Amino acid sequence: MTELTETAKSGSPELRFIADAHLGRLAKYLRLCGFDTLFADSLSDRDIIEIALKEQRIILSRDKELLAHDKNKGVCRIFSERPVTQLSEVIDKYSLRDFFNPFSRCIECNGSIESVSGDEIRDLLLPRTREFYSQFRRCISCSKVYWEGSHYEKMKKFVDSL
């Protein structure tokens, strides 16, 4: 077992992942839970491996060719086809439950999310959103705006159920 995998199993909050092209929903779920997760939707196996080695990321994959590559040291084979079960596989394998930091990463681009005033993003919001919500967060990478609407409650229940 490699040092990276050992560190991951110890439950390090600095755990970082890269999910291959078949695991987009899993990548979003991990981001929702606060884990730094790249989604390699248009990268070759070689590129995924290079990024993983350079950035010390654990590769998440169901691809037998990618999993078999001899340079892969920090790899997690995903068995399930169902994204929620895939998420449970990763959470259990790396003992992640104590390190959740929900809503701290953008589920679209993996950027960090920060609090922002309504005045700063006023022009980006629909009138009813401005009317009913006063607390907002924004991705520092892609500028996507988040607020605690009804969808937030569903996501919070999902994370709590894990």
pLDDT tens digits, 4-55: 444 444 444 589 999 999 999 999 999 999 999 999 999 999 999 999 999 9
Q: What is the CA radius of gyration of the chain?
A: 17
Write down the pTM of the prediction: 0.84
Q: How many CA atoms lie within 13 A of 139 on its CB side?
A: 17
Closest among 88, 70, 55 to 78, alpha carbons compared? 88
Mean pLDDT of the chain: 86
Per the listing, tokens 């500028």 go with 143
CATH 3.40.50 for the 3-99 domain, yes or no: yes
Tokens, residue 106: 């953008």
Domain ranges in the chain with CATH number 3.40.50: 3-99
3-state secondary structure of 13: coil
DSSP character for 117? -
